[in-house]
Amino acid sequence: MSSVNTSELAFSNMSLNRESAKRKHANWLAKQLSDSNSVFIPIWRGNYLFANDVLVEVKQSDVNQTKFLSYAMETLFLGVDKTKSVFILDLSSLSKEKLQELFKRNFSLTIDIIEFRSSLHLINVKDAATLAYGKALSYWHVHHQYCGFCGHKSHAHEGGHMRKCLDENCHRESFPRTDPVVIMLVEHQPEQGPAKCLLAQHNSISSQVVSTLAGFVDPGESLEEAVAREVKEEAGIVADKVTYMASQPWAFPSSLMIGFFANAQKATLNIDHDEIADANWYTAKEIRTFGEWGDGSDSLQLPRKESISRYLIETWLEKQP
């Protein structure tokens, strides 16, 4: 097996310059919206559009001619890729039929609306990071149309990286949120025999798939404390020697996965079946016989290759004989 490195993590290594300072200026954003190099990527209720298995992008000239911006629920600035600005065009307010008719009439395109993770085989690593970013930002806007303080309507600013309440007595600003999630591979080294790692069957996915433990970080909790708590809650074991490995933006819907290795003091499990379906210890030799997610085999299956869970497992396997 080849060496695993964090540059291979899906949705990471963003190529866009987010232009955090410039996007705060309305005149600069207006110039990007009208620039002939700019491109607009349509999104519809968290899904992207494809025609003949190619991602649909709309050129700035087509935006002007078709008045596409008038159909958009939000137009979100993602960043600059070399000489072109990249925007998300959120068309979620349209019905599916209206959306398809719009592209058929203006571009003679028959579009397929594909769930993002199901489309990863159609796009490259660079585009995957951009589209994950766009999906997460779009999700935040869809679910934060109103001020969380006074309840009045809010409006997007700074290219979609801030919303401001429209009520003149409030004007409270809110910003996109990312939920931190710890995800950890737990190892136990018995007095005799090879090391083993803990993999779980989760209630939300196929029982054949085994993955690492994970959980949201509680308020007022350090990442290391969250790792120890989640391992204790889900598997009933005490974890120590918590070591950071890597992180991955996870737009399903708006998390940051923070990966760790941890050591189990003892191997005896006490599973909380409300949290996970089951969990067991596996040697590297056993894991190397597992199948791939959704391969139709009767054997246990590894998590999807784009997940940080898979990265943690493969990194651990690299260290084992």
Q: Where are the domains of the chain?
A: 6-143, 144-176, 179-318
**CA 251, CA 202: separation in Å to the nearest integer?**
19
Class of domain 179-318: alpha beta
Q: With 0-12 CB in 10 A as exposed, 13-18 as middle and 19+ as buried, what is 253?
A: middle
The answer to whether the 6-143 and 179-318 domains have the same CATH topology is yes
**CA 78, CA 161: separation in Å to the nearest integer?**
9
Encoded tokens for 89: 């065009």
Residue in this structure with the two tokens 């089951």, named with its chain if needed? 278
Nearest to 239 by CA among 247, 248, 231: 231
pLDDT at 86 over 70: yes
Encoded tokens for 284: 């590297």
The structure's pTM equals: 0.93
- Strands, E, within 115-222: which ranges? 154-157, 162-165, 173-174, 179-188, 196-201, 213-216
CATH number for 6-143 (one of 1.10.3470, 3.40.50, 3.40.1350, 3.90.79): it is 3.90.79
pLDDT of residue 5: 61
**CA 191, CA 194: separation in Å to the nearest integer?**
9
pLDDT of residue 168: 96
pLDDT at 132 over 80: yes
**CA 185, CA 4: separation in Å to the nearest integer?**
15
Average pLDDT over residues 115-123: 95
Average pLDDT over residues 252-262: 97
- CA 101 to chain centroid, in Å, comes to 30
pLDDT at 67 over 90: no
* pLDDT (tens digit per residue) in 177-231: 999 999 999 999 999 999 999 999 999 888 899 999 999 999 999 999 999 999 9
What is the DSSP secondary structure assignment for residue 9, as one 8-state letter? Answer: S
Q: How many angstroms separate the Cα of 276 from the Cα of each of 74, 207, 242?
A: 38, 10, 21
E strand or H helix at 298, and its extent?
A: none
Encoded tokens for 43: 């999104």
Average pLDDT over residues 288-312: 94
Compute the half-sphere exposure of residue 227: CA atoms within 13 Å on the CB side of its CA: 24
E strand or H helix at 304, and its extent?
A: none
